[in-house]
């Protein structure tokens, strides 16, 4: 079952897992050590992240390592870009207004 990428990042624990494995691949046990939850709960989060292709599994001997799929993160950035442009335009408008107000006070 493929999940929506935005459903996956909606959960704060999954966002924290993404932040952890963004720097280096980690085993489920290493990831679980960073949370006050059970190993099974962390495994469920990893399964959801894997189902939406935000993370990938790699077998190294007897260990499974999870790493971040950077290309999939770009999908989120692409979606945010439309809002980034709106925010930048509004900030520019606010900056112009503040400049006018400052000039009028002199």
Residue 4 has a pLDDT of 84
Do the beta carbons of residue 51 and residue 5 sit within 8 Å? no
Domain CATH for 79 = 1.10.10.10
Instruction: Identify the pLDDT of residue 2.
Output: 65
SS3 category, 10: coil
- What's the total number of domains in the chain? 1
pTM, whole model, 2 decimals?
0.77
Residue 88's domain spans which residues?
5-104
| CA separation for the pair 58, 47 (Å, rounded) | 14
Per-residue pLDDT of the chain (106 residues; tens, 9 = 90+): 567 899 899 999 999 999 999 999 999 999 999 999 899 999 999 999 999 999 999 999 999 999 999 988 898 999 999 899 999 999 999 999 999 998 888 7
| Number of neighbours of residue 76 by Cβ within 10 angstroms | 14
Q: Residue 25's CB: how many other CB atoms inside 10 A?
A: 17
What's the pLDDT at 57?
A: 95
């Amino acid at each position: 079952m493929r999940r929506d990428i935005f459903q996956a990042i909606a959960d704060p624990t999954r966002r924290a897992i993404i932040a952890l494995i963004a720097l280096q691949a980690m085993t489920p046990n290493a990831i679980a050590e960073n949370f006050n939850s059970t190993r099974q709960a962390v495994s469920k989060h990893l399964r959801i992240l894997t189902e939406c292709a935000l993370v990938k599994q790699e077998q190294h001997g007897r260990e499974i390592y999870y790493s971040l799929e950077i290309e999939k993160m770009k999908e989120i950035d692409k979606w945010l870009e439309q809002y980034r442009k709106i925010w930048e335009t509004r900030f520019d408008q606010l900056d112009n207004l503040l400049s006018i107000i400052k000039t009028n006070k002199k």
